[in-house]
Every structure is written in structure tokens, then in C-alpha cells.
Amino acid sequence: MRAWLAVALLAVAPGCRTGPSPATPARLRIAVTLDDLPWQGATAPGETRMQATRRLLEALRARGVPATGFVNCDRIEPGEPILEAWLAAGMDLGNHTSGHLDLNRTDLDAWVADVESCHAVLARLGPRAVHWFRYPMLHEGATEERRAAAAAAVRRLGYAPAHVTVDNSEWILGGAYSRALKRGGDPAVQRALGERYVQHVAAAVAHFDRLSREALGRSIPHVLLLHANALAADHLGAALDALEGQGATFVSLEEALADPAYAAPERYVGPKGLSWLYRIHPELLERARRWDDDQADALQKQVDALDARP
């Protein structure tokens, strides 16, 4: 079973280094964010989305990890208090549009209306402000004009963009996990996917922290992108423990985004959804982006093999 899960983690090619000496200790700080609230995909047989959410939130609370959940408001089901549970657990929420519309493929006015629609829903949760916005698929606009217009609409509603440094492909595993649950569940498959999830998230953090040190000369507080799904409900705790084992401490999204790196000029313009490190240092794309693509390809091959099993 585990043979098909083995993947060699590709090393990042050495690059120009500036700033502190490699001997200078630096803390690994991570802000955890989860997209596509209230829920993405299937739950375990007999388990409601609310019950699964409680398990996900308990994995965070038990470890004292602050997190921000980004809401697709069209996913909200009447009478299902998942967002209220996030707030009651001390977590933050952000706007992820109502329908998860792709800015690259949607009329700009329709896209803005979708952001505004979710804004109206979130405003009804109470006086606690929702400060953050995340672009679906991290697509910020394929041209300077579209990017500027979308950013202006987001600012007009009072949001700050929730940039991501640790982008990754755990969504591929999440889809396979959901399909396994829809088939009635398979403990061996779920365990194998969970182990790969932990490995992949830890490797992605290490990869982007290396890039931060190379491009900026230091380890910045990272923003990790995950998804609110059954894979996270079952295995997020193990992933957080693995990151803590790498020396990570967990910070709020607000603390992470206060770092000057997130105010750096955005130099990438194009259709791709990218880590903020690639956006402010697009010269990294030709070299370092291969790691991301190879990871996604390997995960997809593993999942395809799993889905083909009788």
C-alpha cells in the first residue's frame, strides 16, 4: 500500500543569499488558514458536517493554534451553525467569495458582486469584524488593469488580502479522501492518504521557508493554505504536530501579515495562482516552481492509481 505513496522530495536549487548568516537562528512561524468553509467534500458515513467541524476545531484548540477560515457563502446550509462554531472557538473568518468564482474566467462586475454577496452574509454574523479576503485559486487578475480593479473592490469593502506563502497541493489528496468516504470509507486508504498529507504539508513548509531565506535573507512568518474537509478533520492534528517537530510555532494571520514582506511590491502579473514569494520575486518561478509542479504531478499519479483500484 505504501509503496505507491513514496515520493522523493526535490531539493531547491541553491540561489543568491542575502541578509543574516546561515548560522543565525530564526524561528519558523506559521499562520494556519483553511479555505472553502463551511465544508468541502464528503464526511465520514453517519457524520454531519457540524460534527466533523468540531473535530477539526478541536485539533486546533487542543494545540493552541489560531486559525482563519475563508468562507464560500454559497456553501452555507440553513440552520447549520458551522461559522458560529468557528467564532466560538476563537478562530477568525474571511471572505472567499460566495461562489468561488475564478477571476480569470468571470466578468469583473459579476466577480465583484460575488464578493459583495458574501460580504453581506458575513456581516450578519455579528459585530465581530471579518478583516480578510482570499482570492479563489489565488487568482488575482491576469492583467494589471484587472488586478487593480479587483484589489480596489476588495479594499472598498474593508478587507485586507490574505496572501499565502505556503501554497501546496493537499487539495488533490483531499479530493481522493472525499471519494473514499463516498464509497463507504476505506481505513487503509484513508490512513495512507493521511500520512501523505502530513508529509506533503511539512515538505511544502520546508520548501517555502528555504525560498524565504534565499530571496529575503530570513525566515518570514508564513501563511499556510489548507482546506476545511474530512482529510483535515482526521489528520490536521498530526500535520500540526509534524510542523511543531520541525521547530514551528503558530501565530495569527494578523501577526503574520504584519511582516514587511507582505507589503512588498507585487511584481508578478499573470493568470497563475501563486505563493506570495513568487509574486514578489517572480524570478524564482523558473527555478523553484518546478518543486510545486513535481509534487502535484506525483500526488495526482498516486491518487489516480488509488482511484483505479477495484
- Residue 13 domain-assigned? no
- Asked if residue 10 belongs to a domain, the reply is no
User: What CATH number does the domain containing 216 carry?
Assistant: 3.20.20.370
pLDDT at 84: 95
Evaluate whether residue 60 is within a structural domain: yes
In a domain, 86, yes or no: yes
Query: Domain residues for 206?
Result: 31-307
User: Which position has the grid cell 458574501?
Assistant: 118
Summarised one tens digit per residue, pLDDT across range 109-168 is: 999 999 999 999 999 997 676 899 999 999 999 999 999 999 999 999 999 999 999 999
**Distance (Å, whole) CA 100 – CA 55:** 25
Which contiguous run of DSSP H or E holds residue 168?
none
Residue 3, in any domain of the structure: no
Grid cell in block for residue 228: 476545511
In the predicted model, residues of the chain with pLDDT beneath 50 are: 1-24
- Alpha helix stretches (DSSP H) within 6-48: none
pLDDT computed for residue 127 by the predictor: 65
Q: Which residues contact 29 (CB under 8 A, 6 or more apart)?
A: 219, 221, 222, 248, 249, 250, 251, 255, 256
Number of structural domains (the chain) is 1
* H helix runs in 89-229, sequence order: 108-123, 144-156, 170-182, 187-216
12 lies in some domain = no
Residue at 275 is within a domain: yes
Residue 280 covered by a domain: yes
pLDDT (0 to 100) of residue 4: 33
What stretch of H or E contains 93? Answer: strand 92-95
